[in-house]
Amino acid sequence: MLELIDVHVTAEDATGTVSVLQGINLTLEDNKIYVMTGPNGGGKTSIAKTIMGIYRPSRGRVLLDGADITEKSITERARLGIGYAFQQPPRFKGIKVKDLLKIAAGNNADNRFQCDLLYDVGLCAQDYLEREINSSFSGGELKRIEIASLLARKLKVAIFDEPEAGIDLWSFQKLIETFAGLREKYQGTLVIISHQERILRLADQVILVNDGRISETTTPEKFLAEIEIITADCRCRTDCIKGEVANA
Amino acid sequence: MLNTTDKKLLAAVADLHSIPQGAFNIRKNGEGIMRRSTANIEIVPKTDKPGINIIVKPGTKNESVHIPVILSAGLQDLVYNTFEIGAGSDVLVVAGCGIHNPGGDEARHDGVHEFFVRKGAKMKYVEKHYGEGRGSGKRILNPKTIIEVEEGGVAELEMIQLQGVDRTKRDTEIRLQANSRLIVTERLLTSHNQEAESIITVELVGDDSSAQIVSRSVAKDNSRQLFHLNLRGYARCRGHIQCDSIIMHNAKVSSIPEISAYHTDAALIHEAAIGKIASEQLLKLMTLGLSEKEAEEAILEGFLK
Ligand SMILES: Nc1ncnc2c1ncn2[C@@H]1O[C@H](COP(=O)(O)OP(=O)(O)O)[C@@H](O)[C@H]1O
Ligand SMILES: [Mg+2]
């Protein structure tokens, strides 16, 4: 179980100190799938980075199975079983797909294991294992390698940040199956940050993040129903001129 | 004749763990100490100056010649080697120099290598530089390499220096005739107060000649690096230089590109980049459980592989 208690995060930008997260309270239980969604810039990635230890809270605490890990480093958290698949994964000159998967799995990843991982994200191992993770990869390929690097690990808390971004329909189908399958074999907490209905439907709980806060925790059914009402309510659709702000 | 230090140096620069297969010449402290010619590859000492002539018969396939140089004392060595790579042959040449300098005197090897890669021949040339020893004496290596690749020939060069050389100035000149091809892979790591300079000049003089140079380097501590990579196209040709450096600590790196075309169908590209290790790369590997130091090592190791 992972808990965030009154977590605040600030960051520095050109204008000075900005508030990124403002009092996040969140309890993520084992064996559950959470989908975090909400408008761009709402704070989803920042919550994930705070759990991973990439961002440090200015206030509040992070607990893993009841133990305070607020002061633990990224490496320590990784070794405790927290994992994060980046929204924008880095590229590496010189590091091959198989090297990354080996690092992820703690070096005990044989060829067979690596093939299975790539299969799970819709990539053919033969074409990819020996390739450097450099600028020759498309965005979608890079994302899938990133996801595979998390699937390679034994985790208590796994967070995937917009895994569907840039991925084609066919691979997306495969990815849905993979995430659905994780529910069966995975003994931990799964957090997926996403805007996709099909991923939302996998969730036990949907967490809506907006303006640095958690504005709602609900079920996928309820959440999707509400979204439909919002679109249905928007009367401007028919009579507003393209580009003009609705007066509805 | 070879002691433990010699063997270690030979393993480091030429991957030699025993007497090599095929032709070889081992030079130690300024003298040839072991040599073997084969039916197709003849090695003969020069009579007018220090060094050897290596003559590969036309049509020789899948043979290799090892010509490592080792220095195990503070002395200066100057050598001239000439390679005749016969038409249509396909050979591997492994050179390289290892220095173990135990004392306070300078140990220095200046090698001048001249190659004639004849029509349709293919040569892979591997040169590793390595230094060790606790003494205060500097370890210096200044190779000069001149290569003429004739029509349809291929020269593939691997030049690697990853440890222990205090000062190096590498000067490489290559001329490419029609339909010939050059592939250069350079890897350089400097640390402490080391200085390294690499000048590579390629002249593409024949139609449909091509050159590809990929240079990657890491500069640590107070070390300095200077790259001057120069492509000149005099014919219908293609050339591409990729020069990538990672800079750390207080190091200094300069990369000076130069491409010149003297023909409208010459297509030349130069890419050069210098920067520190990207923090996202470090973060990513740390989220997989590596410490910051381990992450840095993994990134550098991959980069220089
Ligand atoms: N390191 C940072 N520096 C400055 N601003 C940041 C930083 N990280 C996040 N922010 C700001 O915080 C807000 C939330 O960002 P983020 O968590 O990436 O949103 P989301 O993932 O929901 O789209 C955004 O306005 C973003 O610009
Ligand atoms: Mg985000």
Q: Contact A92/B304, CB-based, under 8 Å?
A: no
What residues of chain A, 184 to 243, have a C-beta less than 8 Å from chain B? none
Q: Which residues of B touch A148 (CB under 8 A)?
A: none
| B200 domain residue, yes or no | yes
Atom 10, ligand 1: which residue's CA is nearest? A20
Q: Contact A83/B287, CB-based, under 8 Å?
A: yes
Distance A212 CA to ligand 1 centre (A): 9
- Dihedral sign for Cα atoms in the order A197, A201, A203, A207: positive
Nearest-CA residue of chain A relative to B298? A95
Q: What is the pLDDT of residue A203?
A: 96
Instruction: Chain B: give the shortest CA distance to residue A171, in Å.
Output: 23
- Of B150, B137, B156, B145, nearest to B178 by C-alpha is B150
Full-model pTM: 0.88
| B16 domain residue, yes or no | no
Report the distance separating Cα B106 and Cα B104, nearest Å: 7
Query: Are the C-beta atoms of residues B187 and B160 closer than 8 Å to each other?
Result: yes
Q: How far is CA B234 from CA A248, B115, B208, B231, B241, in A?
A: 69, 21, 11, 10, 17
Nearest-CA residue of chain B relative to A103? B288
Partners of B82 in beta bridges = B53, B114
| B264 domain residue, yes or no | yes
Instruction: Chain A: give the shortest CA distance to residue B280, in Å.
Output: 6
Each residue's pLDDT tens digit in chain B (305 positions)? 788 888 889 988 888 777 778 999 999 999 999 999 999 999 999 999 999 999 999 999 999 999 999 998 888 999 999 999 999 999 999 998 999 998 889 999 999 999 999 999 999 999 999 999 888 899 999 999 999 999 999 999 999 999 999 999 999 999 999 999 999 999 999 999 999 999 999 999 999 999 999 999 999 999 999 999 999 999 999 999 999 999 999 999 999 989 999 999 999 999 999 999 999 999 999 999 999 999 999 999 999 98
Q: Contact B281/A90, CB-based, under 8 Å?
A: yes
Indicate the residue of A75, A88, A149 with minimum beta-carbon distance to B286: A75
Query: Are the C-beta atoms of residues A54 and A76 closer than 8 Å to each other?
Result: no
Q: Contact A103/B290, CB-based, under 8 Å?
A: yes
| B64 domain residue, yes or no | no
Q: Which residues of B touch A84 (CB under 8 A)?
A: 287
Ranges of residues in chain A with a pLDDT under 50 are 243, 245-248
Report the distance separating Cα B25 and Cα A177, nearest Å: 61
User: Quick check: CB of A2 below 6 Å from ligand 1?
Assistant: no
Indicate the residue of B284, B304, B305 with minimum beta-carbon distance to A89: B284
Domains and CATH numbers, chain A: 2-219 (3.40.50.300)
Q: Give per-residue pLDDT as tens, A211-232.
A: 999 999 999 999 998 876 655 5
Q: What is the pLDDT of residue A185?
A: 76
Residues in chain B whose beta carbon is closer than 8 A to a beta carbon of chain A? 216, 244, 278, 280-281, 283-292, 298-299, 301-305
What SS3 class is residue B176? strand
| B177 domain residue, yes or no | yes
- B292-304 and A97-104 are packed helices; what angle lies between their axes, rounded to 10 degrees? 160
Q: Contact A90/B278, CB-based, under 8 Å?
A: yes
Report the distance separating Cα B140 and Cα B80, nearest Å: 17
Number of domains in chain B: 1
Query: Are the C-beta atoms of residues B169 and B200 closer than 8 Å to each other?
Result: no
| Structure tokens, B42 | 């003849």
Nearest-CA residue of chain A relative to B288? A104
Atom number, ligand 1, closest to the C-alpha of residue A209: 22
Residue B273 burial (CB < 10 Å; 0-12/13-18/19+)?
exposed
**Which residue range is the domain that position B283 belongs to?**
166-305
User: Quick check: CB of A45 below 6 Å from ligand 1?
Assistant: yes
Query: Are the C-beta atoms of residues B211 and B231 closer than 8 Å to each other?
Result: yes
Which ligand has the shortest distance to the CA of A86?
Answer: 2
What residues of chain A, 13 to 72, have a C-beta less than 8 Å from chain B? 52, 54
| B194 domain residue, yes or no | yes
Q: Which residues of A touch B304 (CB under 8 A)?
A: 94
Q: How far is CA B1 from CA B12, B72, B118, in A?
A: 18, 13, 36
Q: Which residues of B touch A74 (CB under 8 A)?
A: 283, 286-287
| B137 domain residue, yes or no | no
User: Quick check: CB of A43 below 6 Å from ligand 1?
Assistant: yes
Of A7, A12, A18, the residue with max ligand 1 atoms within 8 A of its CB, to mutate for a pocket test, comes to: A18
Which ligand has the shortest distance to the CA of A46?
Answer: 1
Interface test with B, best of A72, A86, A95 (most B CBs within 10 A): A95
| B7 domain residue, yes or no | no
> For ligand 2, a single-atom ion, which residues have Cβ within 5 Å?
A 45, 87
Q: What is the pLDDT of residue B187?
A: 97
